[in-house]
A and B are shown apart, each in its own frame.
Chain A
């Protein structure tokens, strides 16, 4: 499903990281103006300064909190709608237009409406919820549909009780899809949350800081925050990929 964890993959990862840094440093040297494109050294120096400032962690913490909250709400709601969608074609047919509509709504439109409706703090949570929700529903629906009918037939012959059928047959069968839903949902979360914060400008939030830095043409700071958000995304992805996978898929 994901990139292989072969023996030389950490080395390749390091290599591609070095390549990216070299590319970046080269481009910065060619441009030659820190306001347009600061080099890696300048950005990491600023990153170091941010690191020792307490405020930084409050900003990051609030963004994380909003992201995780919005994601969890949409994940739960996605399960709640996705399971019946997978089990019943009619339920799916009823919900599909909503989901397709929601998915093709520009994120910016959601943010603008949320700005009208909610306080600045809640905007990002609401937007994350709506943006991630259709993704989760789709994954859960696909997961339920993917269950081998032959296994269900077997369960019927041996008269498995309904509770056991759901717990021991359905749930493990859709678990990989639930994990995929979480991975892609979280990935989307970090993108959307920063956009929402940039526009809503809550008191605390990475997006707010990024926009402030942009106004002051503090380009290194914009990039430093960006790197921080990317690191958060990578961290969550690794956690899902390793811890959760090992915990839930002992048979693989």
Chain B
């Protein structure tokens, strides 16, 4: 995949965003609540089209998407939910291998034959992540994938996710609310402004991924900086509709 340049201005939500995501890197997108982060992902996924501007380097590329909710089919078991999106692409043996690999990666192998209603919220979300990873996409979109998980499990899943990603790197755009999470995952963190959102700042993460811990010193400084930027943005007055 070539580098993607995107710029668009949808009337209300996104006020002209331009950014570049390098191939096979992880970009974390942060910003105030309801600033249009999800809209950004759904534009990338091709579920909506921008009013203006262009998304380059994505046409025809396969995409997987971890939505804010798991979006599993209640009538299929965990493994069937994952197999569903693979069956058209691979022979049965390969489907089976991929399903097992990702369920294993998410620590869910014991629950493979469970229907979603019998899984906990966190387990369902992990099935959704496993589905997105099992699908052979060039671009992986994630909308707060580790939300509503307790801290220990969250760190565990982030580690599992990174292991799986490193085994088969692909381009990832991940929306998140938590600076720590962004700093563990990303090569680059983008902070958006309030609605209508534009790019406020881009922070490359200077520490190699293997050396990152929740308490790495260089990260703490960056964490403070990004948090401050986010807070400033949250507290900024809503721009008045008419310039004074």
Distance between Cα atoms of A168 and B117 in the complex (Å): 17
> Could you tell me if B117 and A150 are in contact, using CB atoms closer than 8 angstroms?
no
Given that A157-B64, A157-B65, A159-B62 are contacting pairs, would A168 and B71 also be in contact in the complex, using a CB cutoff of 8 Å? no
Q: What total of A-B pairs shows CB separation below 8 Å?
A: 49
- Chain B contributes a number of interface residues (CB within 8 A of A) equal to 22
Inter-chain contacts of A250 with B (CB < 8 A) = 115
Interface residue? A199 (CB, 8 A): no
B window 73-119: CB within 8 A of A: 73-76, 84-85, 87-88, 115-117
Interface residues on A, range: 20 to 34
CB distance from A192 to the nearest CB of B (A): 33
Interface residue? A172 (CB, 8 A): yes
CB distance from B12 to the nearest CB of A (A): 20
Inter-chain contacts of B47 with A (CB < 8 A) = 153, 156-157
Inter-chain contacts of B202 with A (CB < 8 A) = none
> Could you tell me if B73 and A168 are in contact, using CB atoms closer than 8 angstroms?
yes
> Could you tell me if A168 and B88 are in contact, using CB atoms closer than 8 angstroms?
no
Interface residue? A169 (CB, 8 A): yes
Interface residue? A216 (CB, 8 A): no
> Could you tell me if B63 and A151 are in contact, using CB atoms closer than 8 angstroms?
no
Distance between Cα atoms of A212 and B135 in the complex (Å): 69
> Could you tell me if B73 and A150 are in contact, using CB atoms closer than 8 angstroms?
no
Nearest 9 CB-CB pairings of A with B: A158-B85, A251-B115, A172-B75, A154-B71, A157-B65, A251-B75, A150-B71, A157-B45, A251-B74
Please name 7 further chain A to chain B contacts, defined as beta carbons within 8 Å, in addition to the given A164-B88, A251-B117, sorted by A numbering.
A151-B73, A154-B67, A157-B64, A158-B84, A172-B75, A173-B75, A175-B75
What are 12 sample pairs from A and B whose C-beta atoms fall under 8 A apart? A150-B67, A153-B67, A154-B71, A157-B63, A158-B84, A159-B62, A161-B88, A173-B75, A249-B75, A251-B76, A251-B115, A251-B117
